[in-house]
Structure 1
Amino acid sequence: MTSSNTVLITGTSSGIGLAAAVAAAEAGWTAIATMRDTGKAGALLQAAAEAGVADRVQVKRLDVTDAGSITACLDEVIAEHGRLDALVNNAGAAQVGTIEQGSIDDVRAAMEVNFFGVVAATRAALPHLRAARGRVITITSVGGVVGQPFNEAYCAAKFAVEGFMESLAPVAATVGVEVTVVEPGAVASEFVANLGQDLDGVLATAGPYTPALQAYLARTRQSFANAQTPAEAAAPVIEALTAEHPAFRIQTSAWARDFVGVKLADLDGSAVRNLTGPWVR
Structure 2
Amino acid sequence: MTTKTVLITGTSSGIGLSTAVAAARSGWHVIATMRDTAKAGALLAAAEEAGVAVDVRALDVTDPASVEACLAGLDRLDALVNNAGAGHVGTLEQESVEDVRAVMEVNFFGVLHVTKAALPLLRASKGRVLTVTSVGGVIGQPFNEAYCAAKFAVEGFMESLAPVAATAGVHVSVVEPGAVASEFVSNVGLPDDALEQAGPYAPALSRYLERTRDAFAHAQTSQDVAAQLVDLLAAERPAFRVLTSDAARAFAGTKLKDLDGSAVQTLTDSWVA
TM-score (ref. length: structure 2): 0.92
The answer as to 2:139 corresponding to 1:142 is no
Match of 1:218 among 210, 230, 240: 210
- Matched with 1:68 is 65
Distance 1:20 1:3 in 2: 21
Change (3 A) 1:206 1:240: same
Indicate the residue corresponding to 2:161 in structure 1: 168
Gaps of 5+ in 1: 267-281
- In structure 2, the residue matched to 1:277 is none
Q: Which residue of 1 aligns with 2:266?
A: none
Match of residue 193 from structure 2:
201
Aligned equivalents of 1:247 and 1:92: distance in 2? 22
Quote the offset at 1:238 in angstroms.
Answer: 0.8
Aligned length: 258
> For the Cα contact (< 8 Å) 2:162–2:171, is it kept in 1?
yes
Q: CA RMSD in A?
A: 1.1
Secondary structure at the aligned position of 1:95 is classed as coil
Matches within 5 A, 1:30-41: 30-41=29-40
Residue 203 of structure 1: CA displacement?
Answer: 1.7
- Equivalents in 2 of 1:248, 1:236: separation in Å? 13
Q: Which whole-Å CA distance do the structure 2 matches of 1:183 and 1:43 have between them?
A: 24
Superposed structure 1 runs of 4+ greater than 4 Å apart:
none
- AA partner of residue 239 (structure 2): A
Find the aligned partners of 2:145 and 2:109 in 1 and give their Cα distance: 17
The share of aligned pairs that are identical, in percent, is 70
Instruction: Report SS of the residue matched to 1:126.
Output: helix
Task: Give the letter aligned to residue 20 of structure 1.
Answer: T
Q: Which stretches in structure 2 are left out of the alignment for 5+ residues?
A: 259-273
**What SS does the aligned partner of 1:193 have?**
helix
Residue equivalent to 2:238: 246
Counterparts of 1:17 and 1:102 in 2: how far apart (Å)? 29
1:265 deviation in Å? 4.2
Give, in whole Å, the separation in 2 of the partners of 1:15 and 1:244.
Answer: 26
User: What letter is aligned with 1:92?
Assistant: G
Q: Of residues 212, 221, 226 in structure 2, which corresponds to 1:229?
A: 221
TM-score computed with the length of structure 1 as normaliser: 0.90
Match of 2:95 among 99, 102, 114: 102
